Structure 1
Amino acid sequence: MNGPQAHWLADGRRLHLNHGPIDLIVEAFGEPDECRAAYAQAVARFQTILTELVEELPELRRPASLKPRAFAGPTARRMEAAVAPLAKSFITPMAAVAGSVADEILSALLAGRRLDRAYVNNGGDSAIHLGKGQSMTLAIAGTGHGMADRITIHAEDGVYGVATSGWRGRSFSLGIADAVTVLARTGAEADAAATLIANAVDLPGHPAVERVPARELAPDSDLGERLVTQGVGRLSEAEIALALDNGLAVAEDFRRRGLIAASALFLAGETRISGSVALAAPNKHKTKETAHV
């Protein structure tokens, strides 16, 4: 495996950071000198982030409990802090790894800097900075609507993390959601919550759902023998509604507990909203409540 890589994308505005499974897009907005210094700080922090995680990987793959464990690395600590409040269900810190890495690099980007806006996108799980009066629009892939839905986040929303999970994504899911996008205070918290809500969008034992033990696909998976979704066949309208309502119940519980700000759940072209999320894009269904990514 090559060491940490950093280069500018073709547009000359976005920085690409890559090391093994970590693949980040970073963009900062503000005065040129401030942005240059911020990018240098992000590159410097990126040099050791994967090595730090690998050193604690065995424990990070173990199930969380309601009492957080002590980890040495700051990114690992972010992961554990995000999953501990959710530990009544099976979850490991790996459920928050993408969001935690995004949070850690954003923190390095911002340290001592004055930026109007910034984001770190880790494969769709993002950490966001918005100065006063600023906003940012993000696209949600895999919603089942044919094109990406979009959400616009405003500084006053208090949302600094956005994450999406689902069986079509790059990580394994126990559920059948095409996508579940969560808005939360941090990328780590959004990532962990999106994982569990997506797991809950499910029809256990349904014959149209193809499932395989996670370990058969990835021998070192933190999910072990748990069945992960590999295909979803035709479902009736009633079944789609039931699966989405199962996930919505979990999303509403997380929102009532203050663990997330809002979420949007997608399955087979249908949508459920928890909290204030306004979807903009080719969505044939009107949502009852509003917010943006």
Structure 2
Amino acid sequence: MNGPQAHWLAHGRRLHLNHGPIDLVVEAFGEPDECRAAYAQAVARFQTILTELVEELPELRRPACSIPRTFVGATARRMETAVAPLAEKFITPMAAVAGSVADEMLAALLSGRRLDRAYVNNGGDSAIHLGKSQSMTLAVAGTGHGMADRITIRAEDGVRGVATSGWRGRSFSLGIADAVTVLARTGAEADAAATLIANAVDLPGHPAIHRVPARDLAPDSDLGGRLVTQGVGAVAPGELAQALDNGLAVAEDFRRRGLIAASALFLAGQTRISGSVALAAPNKHKAKETAHA
């Protein structure tokens, strides 16, 4: 595995950081000198973030409990803090790894800087910064509408993290959701909650759903022998609706408890919304200054 890599994407507006499984797109908006300094800080922080996680990986793969454990690394602590309130269900800190990395990198980007807006996109799980009166438009994938929908987040909304989970994504899922997008106070909280809501969008034991033990696909998976979804066959519309309602019940519980701000659940063209998520009309033209979730 190569060491940490950093390079500019087209037009020099976005910074791409890559190291092993971590793949980030970073963009800052503000005065040029402040943005340059912020990018330099992000590159410096990125040099050790993966190494720090690897050092504590065995414990990060163990199930969480309601009393947070003590971790050395800042990113690992973010992961544990995000999953502890959800520990009544099976969850490990790895459920929040992508969002926690985004949060940690955003914190490094912002430290001592004056930026109008910024985001760190970690493979679709994002941490965002919005100054007073600022807003940002997010493109939400996996909606089943054939193109991305848009969500606009304003500074006053209190949302600083957006994450998406589902069986078609890069991580394993116990459920059958095409995608579950969650808005929360941090990327870590959004990531952990999206994982559990997507797991709950399910039809346990349904013969049309192909599942495989996680360890058969990845021997070191934190999910061990739990069955993860690898295919969804023909399922009746009413059953799809029931699966979505199962996930919606979890999403509503999280929202009532103040763990998330809102969520959108997608499965085979059907949708459920929890909270005030205003999905804009699909737009085939990429919006200016858009972060993808």
Structures share fold, TM-score greater than 0.5: yes
Matched residue of 2:11: which SS?
A: coil
Mapped pair 1:153 → 2:153: yes
Conservation of the 8 A alpha-carbon contact between 2:39 and 2:109: yes
Q: Distance in 1 between matches of 2:143 and 2:217?
A: 24
Q: Distance in 1 between matches of 2:278 and 2:257?
A: 21
Unaligned runs of 5+ in 1: 284-292
Name the counterpart of 2:270.
270
Conservation of the 8 A alpha-carbon contact between 1:166 and 1:173: yes
Of all paired residues, the percent bearing the same amino acid is: 89
Q: Distance in 2 between matches of 1:64 and 1:281?
A: 39
Name the counterpart of 1:246.
246
Matched residue of 1:11: which SS?
A: helix
**Which residue type is aligned with residue 10 of structure 1?**
A
Name the counterpart of 1:197.
197
Q: CA deviation at 1:281?
A: 3.2
Matches within 5 A, 1:141-180: 141-180=141-180
Q: CA deviation at 1:64?
A: 0.2
Name the counterpart of 2:102.
102
**Which residue type is aligned with residue 64 of structure 2?**
A
Per-residue CA deviations over 1:223-262 (Å, capped at 9, x if unaligned) read 0000000111122111111000000000000000000000
Conservation of the 8 A alpha-carbon contact between 2:212 and 2:229: yes
Matches within 5 A, 1:1-293: 1-282=1-282
Q: CA deviation at 1:147?
A: 1.2
Conservation of the 8 A alpha-carbon contact between 2:99 and 2:163: yes
Name the counterpart of 1:290.
none
Q: Distance in 2 between matches of 1:282 and 1:10?
A: 25
Conservation of the 8 A alpha-carbon contact between 2:197 and 2:248: yes
Matched residue of 2:137: which SS?
A: strand
Q: CA deviation at 1:282?
A: 3.3
Larger mean Cα displacement after TM superposition, 2-11 or 21-30? 2-11
Conservation of the 8 A alpha-carbon contact between 1:262 and 1:277: yes
Q: Distance in 1 between matches of 2:246 and 2:117?
A: 36
Q: Distance in 2 between matches of 1:81 and 1:118?
A: 23
Conservation of the 8 A alpha-carbon contact between 2:150 and 2:282: no
Q: Distance in 2 between matches of 1:277 and 1:185?
A: 14
Q: Distance in 2 between matches of 1:71 and 1:282?
A: 42
Q: CA deviation at 1:111?
A: 0.4
Unaligned runs of 5+ in 2: 284-292
Conservation of the 8 A alpha-carbon contact between 1:131 and 1:155: yes
Q: Distance in 2 between matches of 1:30 and 1:67?
A: 40
Structure 1's consecutive aligned runs of 4 or more residues displaced over 2 angstroms after TM superposition are none
The CA RMSD over aligned residues, in Å, is 1.0
Q: Distance in 1 between matches of 2:26 and 2:57?
A: 25
Aligned residues: 284
Q: CA deviation at 1:171?
A: 0.3
Per-residue CA deviations over 1:2-49 (Å, capped at 9, x if unaligned) read 000000002210000000000000000000000000000000000000
Q: CA deviation at 1:220?
A: 0.3
Name the counterpart of 1:289.
none
Per-residue CA deviations over 1:176-201 (Å, capped at 9, x if unaligned) read 00000000000000000000000000
In the superposition, the TM-score normalised over structure 2's length comes to 0.96
Q: Distance in 2 between matches of 1:199 and 1:11?
A: 39
Q: Distance in 1 between matches of 2:107 and 2:92?
A: 23
Name the counterpart of 1:288.
none
Q: CA deviation at 1:263?
A: 0.3
Name the counterpart of 2:287.
none
Conservation of the 8 A alpha-carbon contact between 2:7 and 2:16: yes
Per-residue CA deviations over 1:74-128 (Å, capped at 9, x if unaligned) read 0000000000000000000000000000000000000000000000000000000
Conservation of the 8 A alpha-carbon contact between 2:125 and 2:163: yes
**Which residue type is aligned with residue 62 of structure 2?**
R
In the superposition, the TM-score normalised over structure 1's length comes to 0.96
